[in-house]
Structure 1
């Protein structure tokens, strides 16, 4: 679309930069390579990165699910939530990363408009379930360690209910574009699909949907994570101060502090670029931007299929021990120390 030239917007896509054409449909991301948006090398680099995310993310999350199925000792309430996280990450990896790998290699969305809607919905659903699972993990740790409800015991049934809750929330967040509140279209370099941040068409009311996602699916989970882990750190520091002579308590406090920092940073790396970009687009309509940089937030969110399990699963000594054992690499030595560490931390209560 040339500056100052009025053209009819196509129904299934929108390229948010000026293009030198009278017929925008002729440049459809469903029909021709989008070489007018970036060099071939950029597309191939993105394809390679998506291939890496697909292979590694699928392998780690499948291994997590297989370990939980094989080892009964992993079927605790916390690990049920981590299993739910692995399933959501696997959905993003298998649907989003694999599709993006093929489309970036082809330099356009070769699967057509219907597949774009399906991919956008499935990736958004998996992403929302993953995001809320991180908040549920923080909430569970707060309940178990800080004991705000006194002697309340967080059981596997509660964990399963929390997992169901994340999928209900995920459907609430990802379903509206399928029924007319916003829509799923190609984004960034037009090779992956997501909600329409760009247009101001009243038919789709995209701005209200963006604000809904930002508040309900970013600000609320982030606030939950910061509050719960903040309370956890305060509780552990008070316990460590009261038991200054206990080396194990001091060690537990240091380990949890490091893990909390890593978990919060991981969440922000996953979702802050996407949320920030969506808000910037909504509040700066008509401002030019490089579509290569517009693809980065989507790539970061899909990459969560790799670094979420690394943070939440591979740093879990019990999970890591079982994975190494399943792969024939031993790993049984950590079990006793893991159990002792978990017991030490779980006994910490508010002063």
Structure 2
């Protein structure tokens, strides 16, 4: 329900209503189950990467440190959105307070921007490992790895905090229905009664910085990687070098494709339905595929997973013998 009492900054709205997908309301239970399974699978996949990286000493390398950090950030990012989506599928619509809505928008955008910077760092890591192997371990020291992750977090925080805070200070006098399944920047800006053109342009420019900075770094890294791989004398060496990068390239394509479609458009109000579909892919499908891509296409992860399962099986067998002895 729309609140009519005007607050000090002129905003009449105290809560928003997330509309979700009105056309799919009659499939609410089915969609709930499908997306719940996808969310749980994404949770298990990302936590598996994090656990194996922590437990297996062979994965204590810069690449897997960045990958496990990326998995944690990605899971945290979708966890700000998917529970809300599941609630919408059960209830049809979902109310969210003014403060909670902007908090959700900020956390989602902050973690999303951080994930893109981490992808850029992963690209640089592969560039140094393949193109500068003699200097790799000297450059990618543990201190440097922590520093790079910290820079990604700080940049993501600063670039997304400024436009979201500015938008939250705008006047909202109605309507209060958000045609989306979570509080995203575009739908919130379109509901404001204030002039938000300058804020939209600021966010657009910051989104360009995030996406195209990370994209340029990835292009630079992989163009040099391709040149280096082509020059390798052995076909086996070329295949091995490319196998360490192919998973990352697939993840890059999935994430950049969906996010450029959603955010890098001057007019976001004209294609809200397609935005919702692209956002659904970005928040449900891509996080589910990423752990699968990284685990299925990596021999080191294969071996670490086998060893982990073997230890679990051995532990259960030993425990069973103790109980029945």
Alignment TM class, shorter chain as reference:
0.7 to 0.9
Alignment of 1:153-232 (within 5 A): 153-181=139-167, 189-196=179-186, 199=190, 201-203=194-196, 205-232=198-225
What is aligned with 2:4? none
Q: Give the 3 Å change call, closer, same or farther, for CA 99–261 of structure 1 in structure 2.
A: same
Q: Which has the higher contact order (CA 8 A, sep 6+)?
A: 2
SS in 2 for 1:29: strand
Whether contact under 8 Å (1:127, 1:301) holds in the other structure is: no
**Structure 2 residue 78 is the aligned partner of structure 1 residue 93:** yes
CA contact (8 A) 2:163 2:203 kept: no
Q: Which consecutive unaligned segments of at least 5 residues does structure 1 have?
A: 1-8, 14-24, 244-248, 331-351
Contact kept? 1:181, 1:205, Cα under 8 Å: no
Residues 44, 209 of structure 1: CA spacing in aligned structure 2 closer, same or farther, 3 A cutoff? farther
Q: Is the 8 A contact 2:208 2:264 kept in 1?
A: no
Q: Which shifted more, 300-309 or 77-86?
A: 300-309
Give the superposition deviation at 1:57.
Answer: 1.1
- Partner residue in 1 for 2:302: 320
- Using the TM superposition, give the Cα deviation of residue 234 of structure 1 relative to its aligned residue in structure 2, in angstroms: 0.6
TM-score (norm: length of structure 1): 0.71
2:50 matched to 1:62?
A: no
Distance 2:33 2:99 in 1: 25
After superposition, the C-alpha distances for 1:173-229 in whole angstroms (9 at most, x for unaligned) are 331244215789999743212112653843573322332233211111111112101
Structure-2 change in CA distance of 1:322 and 1:148 (3 Å): closer
Structure 1 residue 137 displacement after superposition: 0.6
**Alpha-carbon distance, 1:256 to partner:** 4.0
Q: Distance in 2 between matches of 1:233 and 1:256?
A: 9
Confirm or deny that 1:299 pairs with 2:287.
Answer: no
The two structures, once aligned, show a CA RMSD in angstroms of: 3.5
- How many equivalent residue pairs? 295
